[in-house]
Structure 1
Amino acid sequence: MNIFQTFIFKSFLRPFFLTFSIVMLILLMQFLWKYIDDLIGKGLDFIIVLELLFYSTITLIPIALPLSVLLASMMLVGGLAERSEITAINSLGQPYIYILKPLLICSIIIGATSFLISNYSIPYANLKATTLMYDIMKKKLSINIKEKVFFSDIEGYSIRIEKKDQNGLMEDIIIYDYSEKKGVNRIFIANNANISINEINNELNIQLFDGEIFNEKKENRHSYILKTRFDQYNLNLDLTSFRMERSEANRFNNKAKALNIKKLKIGLDSLDIQQKKYMHEILYKLQIDIDERYTDNKTILKHKNKLQINDLKKIERKMNFNTLKINKFSVELQRKYTLAVACIIMLIIGSSFGAIIQKSGFGLPVIFSIILFLLYHIISITGEKMVKKNVLDPTIGMWGSTIIMIIIGILLVIIANNKKINQLK
């Protein structure tokens, strides 16, 4: 590359990293908004939240790259066109493609980076993020006992308080104990109580003051209530269900999103073999012995045909489930390629559109970038859903949006090139 092309290359990087940071922030905020209800109120450690955000950020990179390339290229080339620099280059006999060369090199590098991240980093990040979200959603809400409301999140107990002060001292407390799962076994009523959490034993310590215990007893088919008064009584409740237990990572390692290209291909081969086995089973079930056709016992034959139909329906259900799994694996396999190619296509579209509109900054380029990317994203998501529903072939469904964008890109390059030629005339 000469001095001018090096200048174009370097000039592209600044708006690219700026737009990439903004897009990543928006996508991350969208992720938090989606799962905010599952995260709030569970008393999660800050390090757990950071870990989740870190893995989620990695999974969002290949989605953010095409939009960042589109916006950055549109801003850069739009600025060059606005300042008539492209016209000056064309007047020297250099075609519009001359400007695209350094940008194409840059987009190929970005596309290759996207592919490597999709193949090596994202499967691991998806695995860790999925496992972490599973553990978070499984964890109960943190202890938050409100006034005049029954708190029943602790297994086997239900707690109600009338009033509590800023120091944690509670008044008029009632505790129902049904831990033995035979109805309410005991009822604790106290005038005052103090609650604290024992982090070492993972217990909720309740100190009850000036109260009574009502305990149901059964003897010889008769039941009676035993009433016991106390000045102070300590009740320890297990909080194991409130602690976040970390699952093993291999719990979700067979999910399509947690696999790289090599493992996806191995998985697809295994699923194809399984599909062929189901086909052989169907063919075997459909084979009817000639002697059975001419049997005189119609009842036996009719019963056997019913069993055969039921077996065929079971195999059909297995085949349908297997087909859906094949489609999921195919979608994830094709996605790794399409998002990488999208970086190159978006650069061609963005730079050509920038040359046409001749505007820089965050005005028109942002509006047109969002419209074009939404068009690409909607077509892509629609194709993906149709593949998963077994309506479209995985290759057509996943590459349809890319093919449409390639056609748009070629048309825009022709329009941009012709516009510059007409300006010279």
Structure 2
Amino acid sequence: MKILDKYILKSFLVPFIATFLIVLFVLVMQALWQAFENIAGKGISVIFILKFLYYTTLMIIPQALPIGVLLSSIMALGNLGENYEFAAAKSAGVSLQRLVRPIGILAIALSGLNFLFLNNVFPYANQKQRNLYLNIKKKKPALALVPGSFNADIPGYQIKFDEKYGEEENLLKKVLIYDLTSNRGNQKVITAESGKIVTEEGSRYMTFILYNGNYYEEHVKTARTTLKRKKMAASSATFKEYEFNIDIGDTLDEGQLDSINSATLPMMLTLEEIKDTIPKLKINYDEVLELRAKNIYISTYAKDLYKYPDSLVNKSLDSITIDNFELQEKITILNSALTKSTRVVSTLNNNLDSIKWNRKMVNFYDTEYYNRVAFSLSCVILFFIGAPLGSIIRKGGFGLPMILAIAVYVLYFFTNTFGKNLAEESSISSMLGSWISAILMIPFAILLTNRATKDKGIFNLNSFLQPVTNFFKKILPKKGN
């Protein structure tokens, strides 16, 4: 390796390592801060927090790498320009392309590393972190319950309360519990002014202790009429204190918080696994559409509509079918058609959410598949933006390069997220949604590289105004003529 290449790589690697670690630290702390409300003061062990930070770090590395490459490339080339080293290299016959070649090769290698992380480490960390949350909620069930809405995390029960407070947030206000364990609807209802949740370490039961409430239970609920149901046996009572246990299953031993092996989302799968899953989802979606279409076809009696041979057509009949009937028959036919049409529209509306969800799941997997490849190339794309940008501004340090890097990455990340959202909603194809940020950024990278190679600024106002000025000079008469 030549001395120049070593120097250029050193100029890049020193700020790259610093910026990468800083960005990684900031993003990990941001993730921890977002989760802090759910884990602070809940008796969560240090082991949990350390594992959470470890998996979060692995998940954020693919996002921090492109930012580090972008910022360090601006800083490295900016420092060379600011110290006139870039001008000295050009005077010695070293072009910009030759100067940044070692950094470009390194950026390609970092893109390859980013792809390996996205395809192998990222799914692993995502799966482990999700299971970490699921298991900590199983060990601390009170964490899984959210105030203000019905909670169905505990099988067989619907639990709602207005507020959760206390040091361990296990004290409740205005409690409403539906016991659905009998599989016969809301036969058992419990309400209370207040209550608390008690769970002993290692126990498979969660204990509810409720205060000042009511208990109601219907013992039988098989009669069809309201009158008969009212005559059936039921019991109700008020209480000052009521205690009952809910079986929440076996808890996990300490140190096995992330032991469950559940991978149900595309972020938890490798590219090969996503590729194997997509055909199954598409087959399932096609079957749903086919079933819905078949139901509509049958309910509208469309199979009874068929063409008669010309020899069997009654020429005396009016071509407008409805005009062949009397007034009362027309009313009956139209009412029947309206009822069936209303029923079909109602069926379509009822199935619309289900169909949209199935389609969205297919799009979700498709988008994740293409985005893994597209985002892994972000190191190369952002390098070819950062390197010429640094050589143009000729300013090193963390000031201006940091501002430019943030602006470029926010634009890149925003278009990437915007494209993914459009693809998930079927507004555009999954491939276009995943590659839209690259499609927008690559021309910008080419423009910057071209202007940096020709030693021009980002925007030369004269180059835009001169053709306009020359045009008006030609068409406007000169003074004195």
TM-score computed with the length of structure 1 as normaliser: 0.72
Letter in 1 for 2:287: K
In structure 2, how many angstroms separate the alpha carbons of the residues matched to 1:313 and 1:203? Answer: 42
Q: Conserved in 1, the CA contact under 8 Å of 2:165 and 2:172?
A: no
Kept in 2, the 8 Å contact 1:87–1:420? The answer is no
Kindly provide the amino acid, as one letter, of the partner of residue 256 in structure 1.
P
Residues 192-228 of structure 1: per-residue CA shift (max 9 Å, x gap) = xxxx997677999xxxxxxxxxxxxxxxxxxxxxxxx
| Separation (CA, whole Å) in 2 of partners of 1:133 and 1:416 | 49
User: Residue 140 of structure 1 aligns with which residue?
Assistant: 142
TM-align CA RMSD: 4.4
Task: Please show how residues 77-116 of structure 1 align to structure 2 within 5 Å.
Answer: 77-116=77-116
Counterpart secondary structure, 1:374: helix
Q: Which runs of 5+ in 2 are unaligned?
A: 145-163, 177-187, 193-197, 207-242, 309-320, 458-481
Q: Distance in 2 between matches of 1:321 and 1:381?
A: 19
Q: Which residue of 1 aligns with 2:260?
A: 249
> 1:176 matched to which residue of 2?
none
AA partner of residue 15 (structure 1): P
TM-aligned CA deviation for residue 344 of structure 1: 0.4
Whether the 8 Å contact between 2:67 and 2:409 is mirrored in structure 1 is yes
Partners in 2 of 1:70 and 1:320 — Cα distance?
38
C-alpha separation in 2, matches of 1:398 and 1:96: 31
Greater shift, 314-323 or 342-351, is seen at 314-323
Once residues 315 and 203 of structure 1 are traced to their aligned partners in structure 2, the CA distance between those partners, rounded to angstroms, is: 39
Deviations 1:150-178 (CA, angstroms, capped at 9, x unpaired): 9449x99xxxxxxxxxxxxxxxxxxxxxx
- Measured after TM superposition, the shift of residue 254 of structure 1 is 1.8
In structure 2, C-alpha distance between the alignment counterparts of 1:76 and 1:393, rounded to whole Å: 38
Please give the secondary structure, in 1, of the residue aligned with 2:107: helix
Q: Is the 8 A contact 1:71 1:366 kept in 2?
A: yes
TM-score normalized with structure 2 length: 0.64
SS of 1:41's equivalent in the other structure is coil
Quick one: structure 1 residues 256 and 90, their matched pair in 2 at CA, closer, same or farther if it must change by over 3 Å? same
Higher relative CO (Cα under 8 Å, sequence separation at least 6) belongs to 1
Number of aligned residue pairs: 363
Alpha-carbon contact 1:292-1:301 (below 8 Å) kept: no
Distance 1:320 1:355, change over 3 A: same
Structure 1 residues 200 and 347 mapped into 2: Cα distance closer, same or farther (>3 Å)? Answer: closer
- Residue 340 (structure 1) aligned to one of 376, 382, 391: 376
Q: Distance in 1 between matches of 2:288 and 2:132?
A: 36
| Alignment check: 8 A CA contact 2:203 2:251 kept | no
Show the counterpart of 1:265. Answer: 275
CA distance in 2, matches of 1:99, 1:293: 77
- Residue type at the aligned position of 1:86: F
- In 2, Cα distance between equivalents of 1:249 and 1:197: 21
Q: Which residue of 2 aligns with 1:378?
A: 414
Secondary structure at 2:395 match in 1? coil
- Written as runs of structure 1 = structure 2, the 5 A alignment for 1:113-132 is 113-132=113-132
**Whole-Å separation in 1 of the counterparts to 2:29 and 2:5:** 36
- Residue 290 of structure 1 corresponds to 304
What code does the residue aligned with 2:260 have? A
- 1:297-327, Cα deviation, whole Å (9 max, x unpaired): 9779757666655555566544322210111
**Cα offsets for 1:273-293 (capped at 9, x unmatched):** 223334444554547223689
In the alignment, the residues of structure 1 paired with residue 346 and residue 172 of structure 2 have an alpha-carbon distance, to the nearest angstrom, of: 46
Say whether the 8 Å CA contact 2:142–2:170 is kept in structure 1: no
In structure 2, do the counterparts of structure 1 residues 254 and 150 end up closer, same or farther at CA, with 3 Å as the change threshold?
Answer: closer
Partner of 1:355: 391
AA at the equivalent of 1:22: I
Q: Structure 1, residues 337-396: CA drift from partner, whole Å, max 9, x if none?
A: 122111001111111111011111111111111111111112212222222222222222
Contact 1:43 1:141 in 2 (8 A): no
* Other structure's SS at 1:140 match: helix
* Contact residue 107 and residue 383 of structure 2 kept, 8 A: yes
Q: Judging changes above 3 Å, is the alpha-carbon distance between structure 1 residues 144 and 405 closer, same or farther for their aligned structure 2 residues?
A: closer
CA distance in 2, matches of 1:365, 1:183: 60
In 2, the alpha carbon distance for the partners of 1:320 and 1:201 equals 41
Rounded Cα–Cα distance in structure 1 between residues aligned with 2:356 and 2:244: 48
Equivalent position amino acid for 1:56 in 2: T
Matched, 1:31 2:45: no
Deviation at 1:22, TM superposition (A): 0.2
Identity of aligned residues (%): 29
1:232 counterpart residue number:
none
Contact preservation (8 Å) 1:77, 1:351: yes
Q: Aligned match of 1:414 in 437, 450, 456? A: 450
Instruction: Judge conservation of contact 2:278–2:362 (CA < 8 Å) in 1.
Output: yes
State the AA in 2 paired with 1:260.
Answer: T
Q: 1:201 to 1:265 in 2, by over 3 A?
A: closer
Q: Deviations over 1:121-175 (max 9, x none)?
A: 11111011112123445632699967xx99449x99xxxxxxxxxxxxxxxxxxx
Contact 1:90 1:420 in 2 (8 A): no
State the secondary structure of the residue aligned to 2:447: helix
Where does structure 1 lack aligned partners over 5 or more consecutive residues? 157-179, 185-195, 205-235
Counterpart in the other structure of 2:432: 396
